[in-house]
Amino acid sequence: MPGRGKLIAVIGDEDTCTGFLLGGIGELNKNRKPNFLVVEKDTSITEIEETFKSFLARNDIGIILINQFIAEMIRHAIDAHMESIPAVLEIPSKEHPYDASKDSILRRAKGMFCAEDFR
């Protein structure tokens, strides 16, 4: 059953957020909280985690985009998220290229095979 249009949230460094906001995903008005977080050097891990959890709790967010190096800081929170909506997508950052071995989804897919399954 198709749902109504949902938002795309982004948690990333300044250039990542600027790029995606240029793409038109940003929402910011007096009544609602923003659907993005610009992570700077002085942004605490607690703030990142709280923002991530607030995005998960909102029912109007369909996809969460997050730089992989930021995802590493809150890996426990990302691994704990088992629902399919919102989908969490890890993206590279300028200083940290994408590493498939760290991606939560691919780690779950990789861990399903063992030697006994092929007997």
21 near another protein, rule: CB under 8 A: yes
Those residues whose C-beta lies under 8 Å from the C-beta of residue 53, and which sit 6 or more positions away, are 77
* CA torsion angle 35 15 103 6 (round to 10): 30
Closer CB to another protein, residue 13 or residue 73? 13
In this chain, which of 33, 53, 94, 107 binds another protein, going by CB under 8 A? 94
In the complex, the smallest distance separating the C-beta of residue 108 from another protein, rounded to whole angstroms, is 7
In the complex, the smallest distance separating the C-beta of residue 109 from another protein, rounded to whole angstroms, is 6
Decide: residue 60, CB within 10 A, 0-12 exposed, 13-18 middle, 19+ buried: middle
* Ranges within 30-59 binding another protein (CB under 8 A): 30, 34-35, 38
In the complex, the smallest distance separating the C-beta of residue 50 from another protein, rounded to whole angstroms, is 19
Q: Which residue in this structure is represented by tokens 């249009």? A: 5
| Residues 43, 39: Cα–Cα separation, whole Å | 6
6 near another protein, rule: CB under 8 A: yes
